[in-house]
Chains A and B, each alone.
Chain A
Amino acid sequence: MPLLTIATFLPILAGLALMALPDRSTRTAHAVSIAATGAVFLITLAIWARGIVAGDFAQVEEIAWIPAIGAAYRLGVDGLSLPLVLLTSLLFFLSALYSARIGERAASYVVLMLMLETASLGTFMALDGLLFYVFFEVSLVGMYFMIAGWGYEERQRAALMFFLYTLLGSLPLLLAIIGLYLGSGTFDMRVWVEGTALGGLPAMLALIAMLVTFAVKIPAFPVHTWLPAAHVQAPTAGSVILAGVMLKFGTYGLVRFAYQMTPEAFAQAGQVILAFGVVSALYGAFAALAQSDLKKMIAYTSVNHMGYVVMGVAVAALATEPRIRTIALDGATLQMVSHGLVTGALFFLVGMLQDRAHTRGIGDFGGLLGRVPWLGWAFILSAFASLGLPGLAHFPAEFQIFLATLNGMPWGLIAILAIVITAALYLRAIAGVFLGEMNDKWAEMPDLDQREKLVILPLLVLTVLIGVAPGWLIDMIHTTMTGLGN
């Protein structure tokens, strides 16, 4: 059974079916959304059960598309993409559950969400350069309409900024893809990842083009400015998908395209890339410290966490010892998953808080822990995970990245300073919102209901599970990364 194809296109087909239904009420729309995303989640579990292989892509599905130029419909997974595929299907399922309260033009909202899921899964699983680009761009369009249609006050401006910024960012990738094609005569990414399609100056130009694209998407300093605006204005589920899934397009592309397809150029530029990673990590932490809006604060911590991923990949390219390279790549990939889970949870929780209070300012709250213990403890646990506390999801990832940095490029360790800053800002946020004097305005605030608990619990469980026993996930990542590190 072509499970990869089914998982990729089931959402959009469900969306089309919904559009064709005579009854497009809010209820039906959300039922279709939950059923489709739930089914896709189960299918991706089946894909996981089928397993991956070392040194190659597994479960490849291939159909000719434009034979004249060697473009084909090709899907496959490996230890880099499969964890992200699982993360994607889980977050979309939880977002569908969470979004069931949205009443405004629910059918259109659901169709967009489902289109986004197809685009996201396709981006991670595509093994054809042209197909990858198609999915990559479709996700932009979907997210634009999501922010513009269901966002908050300043949504039009934020959506426009997001669209222009990321479209401008993604077009250099198109040129790089053309270059890789002209250098190899095919769009097959399995050929490209051998790293021999381009060499010398063309490889460096292609690398620069790809770095521009992925730096905008990740986002790395100084092209991160679209992120806070987009996050603050996006609807909650949009923020979760944007941070949890779509930022990973950037880091995934950094490894799959930049690191794998132009390895020599990447190693030459390694120091510069590492510097961008370190600066992003520090800048994200400091900028987050300066925020009083919870959502904006979490958005900036994404810049910080993604900075660590960039560091890990850069160290992998710079280090000479295969063991160190593998550790760095393991850590970077695990960091992508951890960030998706933890930041996804944080955005959900802030969304739930905003649903109740219609404000997100840290100063507007106080002493909520007694009033809403579920919400409070869930936030505290996720915040501790986000600041890298041992035993929670970010720790094993960041530990491996820093370990490799210490062995490969010790100067990069100044980024550890960012962990201290992050700890400070989260403690300040927890103290401001959940501890201290209770603000009487919120005396009637209800705690999480069943549905909201259902959304949050899986993320918390996984956060702890990855923190305590990350082996099941790292082993899968490691299967592929040993090959990439050599």
Chain B
Amino acid sequence: MEMGRDLALLAPELTLAAAAMLMIVAEMFRAARLVLAIGLAGLAAATILTLPMLSVDATVFGGTYRIDLISGWAKLILLPGTALSLLLVRAEIAGRPREGSVQSLVVLVTLGALMLSGAGDMMVVVIGVVMTGLGSFALVAWPRDDAATEAAMKYLVFGAVTGSVMIYGLTFWFGGTGSTLFSELGQLQGQTLVTIAGLIAIIVGLGYKGSLVPFHFWAPDAYQGAPVSIAAYLSVITKAAAFFAFAQVLRDLPRDGGWPLALAVIAAATMTYGYLAALVQTNLVRLIAYSSVAQSGYFLMGVVALGASGFAVPGILVFAAAYVAMNLGAFAVVLLAGRDLGDLEGFGRTRPWLGAAMVVFLLSLTGIPPLFGFVGKFYLLSAAVEAGYLWLAIIGVLNSVLALGVYLRLMVPMYRTSSTEHPSEVGAVLTQGTVVVTVLATLLIGLAAGILPGP
């Protein structure tokens, strides 16, 4: 009886898991197109199954996994985002060896991301981190060249160390509450040292996933070594999942432990460092990688305000949705234009529509209204102000100016006259389709923000 209810609530996850298995089977027959079709169908089915469950607020398997506002919207954001990523993967590596394996791994990593987003228990977080981690290492290593191998190796070592630290630290919380459930964290009231030990564990483990400063070192190398489509995927899906997990974990933690202040400092450092580092990059993928690091700082503003502002959770969700759309879109344009900043010279003149789309993505990343990114940033800033972190909001606002400096470095050369050729590449149709979908989302959803979760 109980089991039946739980399984019904888990329909989207189970559908996706089944799809992933079928994809692996199809890959055994080297049927790459079939793998893609199964993946897309599974993602679409899981998305549709999520829709009626948005208003559910329940837990399954003894409170260890949550079906709530966060995990519901996480599915609506991550599943379509994964589908678009699969299209980009197809566009970039169609016909190359083990294409189907990459597609299957992507879906499996997304399954891990869903685990993170719904985690109600320490062990689920650990499983989620491991699932997303192992799949990601393999995805980064896929090109089998030196750069990719080195990047994957760094990523793996970093992941192994932070993962171990996280598991070790979480044992303190288990000792303090006698339970692995996050819903019991309220019992830590007063046990400052234990709270801090577990908190450090969470910050290290999830901060690595979300590429927060100072756990971000792997990100630019991994993004640069991996195929562009995989960089796009990792930069949005696993990162957003990390912040959904943050929200699941910290919303039950008493605020008097001082963690909001610690996270606020990390948030300020992350956005400032990310944009400063992005200002000096010449490789387009690295530039966007560092800008993604900076965006993590904005995500963290919402985490800081958890429990103190009604804007915190909606802010994280809305910004995640915006971020997935605009960052995937920007990477899709990079896929078409080339990996170097110089490749953008004159791009806006020879390919006016794609150029305009890139401008929309970059302005949205800056946070210019009425684009989607602005709505997300607005919620996050409101959350920080309401939680009493006015200084953090001011730093966030000042960093928007730095952000503009970063993104203008892309926009200005796009409209210079140049002789650089911008030929249409193989698979361009799929990539352009992704650009169209993401640019429409970036342009229109911000105007229809009423449909999104609010405070």
* Interface, chain A (partner B; CB < 8 A): 64-69, 71, 130, 133-134, 137-138, 140-141, 148-149, 156, 160, 163-164, 167-168, 171-172, 174-175, 178-179, 181-182, 205
Contact = CB atoms under 8 A, between A and B. Distances in A.
B319 to A, nearest CB: 15
B404 A164 contact: yes
Q: Which of A71, A168, A171 has the most CB of B within 10 A?
A: A171
Contacts of A64: 450
B378 interface: yes
Given A167-B400, A175-B385, A68 B454 contact: yes
Given A65-B449, A138-B369, A178 B408 contact: no
Interface string B123-156: 0000000000000000000000000000000000
Nearest to B446: A134
A138 B446 CA distance: 14
Contacts of B382: 178, 181-182
A281 B314 CA distance: 46
10 contacts: A65-B450, A69-B454, A137-B368, A149-B415, A160-B412, A164-B405, A167-B400, A174-B397, A175-B397, A178-B378
A156 B415 CA distance: 11
Given A141-B363, A160-B408, A164-B405, A171 B368 contact: no
A137 B369 contact: yes
A295 to B, nearest CB: 24
Contacts of A182: 382, 385-386
Top 7 closest pairs, chain A to chain B, by CB: A68-B454, A134-B369, A171-B397, A134-B370, A66-B449, A168-B401, A66-B450
Contacts of A134: 369-370, 374
A66 B393 contact: no
Interface in B351-393: 363, 368-370, 374, 378, 381-382, 385-386, 390, 393
Contacts of B453: 68
A66 B368 contact: no
B404 A167 contact: yes
Contacts of B393: 175, 178
Contacts of B454: 66-69
Contacts of A140: 368
Contacts of A174: 378, 381, 397
B397 A148 contact: no
B404 A172 contact: no
B423 interface: no
Contacts of A178: 378, 381-382, 385, 393
Given A68-B453, A138-B370, 4 more contacts: A174-B381, A175-B397, A178-B381, A178-B385
Nearest to B405: A164
Interface in B435-452: 449-450
B159 to A, nearest CB: 36
A164 B450 contact: no
B381 A164 contact: no
B193 interface: no
B262 interface: no
Task: With a 10 A CB-CB cut-off, give which of A156, A164, A167 has the most chain B CB atoms.
Answer: A167
Nearest to B384: A178
A68 B379 CA distance: 12
Contacts of A67: 450, 454
A145 B454 CA distance: 33
Q: Per DSSP, are chain A's interface residues mostly helix, strand or loop, or mixed?
A: helix
A216 to B, nearest CB: 12
Interface string B399-416: 011001100100010010
Nearest to A73: B447
Contact of B404 (A68, A163, A175): A163
Contacts of B385: 175, 178-179, 182
A276 to B, nearest CB: 22
A167 B405 CA distance: 11
A175 B369 contact: no
Contacts of B25: none
A164 B401 contact: yes
A71 B401 CA distance: 25
B401 A171 contact: yes
B398 interface: yes
* Most interface-central of B369, B370, B412, B415 (chain A CB within 10 A): B369
Nearest to B401: A168
Given A67-B450, A175-B394, A167 B401 contact: yes
Nearest to B368: A137
A174 B374 CA distance: 11
A69 B378 CA distance: 11
Nearest to B399: A171
A172 B455 contact: no
Contacts of B381: 174-175, 178
A134 B394 CA distance: 19
Interface in B269-316: 314
A172 B374 CA distance: 15
Contacts of A164: 401, 404-405
Given A130-B378, A137-B369, A148-B415, A69 B455 contact: yes
B163 to A, nearest CB: 38
A172 B381 CA distance: 12
Given A163-B408, A178-B385, A171 B398 contact: yes
B397 A141 contact: no
B397 A172 contact: yes
Q: Which of A68, A164, A172, A181 has the most CB of B within 10 A?
A: A68
Contacts of A69: 454-455
A205 B393 CA distance: 14
Contacts of A172: 397
Contacts of B412: 148, 156, 160
A68 B454 CA distance: 5
Residue among A67, A141, A178, A179 with the highest chain B CB neighbour number at 10 A: A178
Contacts of B408: 160, 163
Contacts of A179: 385
Contacts of A171: 397-398, 400-401
Contacts of A168: 398, 401
Nearest to B309: A182
Contacts of B386: 182
Contacts of A133: 369
B368 A141 contact: yes
A148 B400 CA distance: 20
A138 B378 CA distance: 16
B364 to A, nearest CB: 11
A284 B400 CA distance: 30
A213 B384 CA distance: 21
Contacts of B390: 175, 205
* Residue from A138, A172, A174 having most chain B Cβ neighbours under 10 A: A174
B450 A68 contact: yes
B310 to A, nearest CB: 9
Contacts of B397: 171-172, 174-175
Residue of A71, A130, A133, A175 ringed by the most chain B CB atoms within 10 A:
A175
Contacts of B394: 175
A374 B287 CA distance: 55
B51 to A, nearest CB: 19
A324 B234 CA distance: 64
B314 to A, nearest CB: 8
A172 B385 CA distance: 13
A129 to B, nearest CB: 11
A69 B450 CA distance: 9
Contacts of B374: 134, 137
B143 to A, nearest CB: 37
Nearest to B381: A178
A107 to B, nearest CB: 10
A149 B368 CA distance: 20
Contacts of A175: 381, 385, 390, 393-394, 397
A172 B455 CA distance: 23
A174 B363 CA distance: 17
Nearest to A156: B412
A81 B405 CA distance: 33
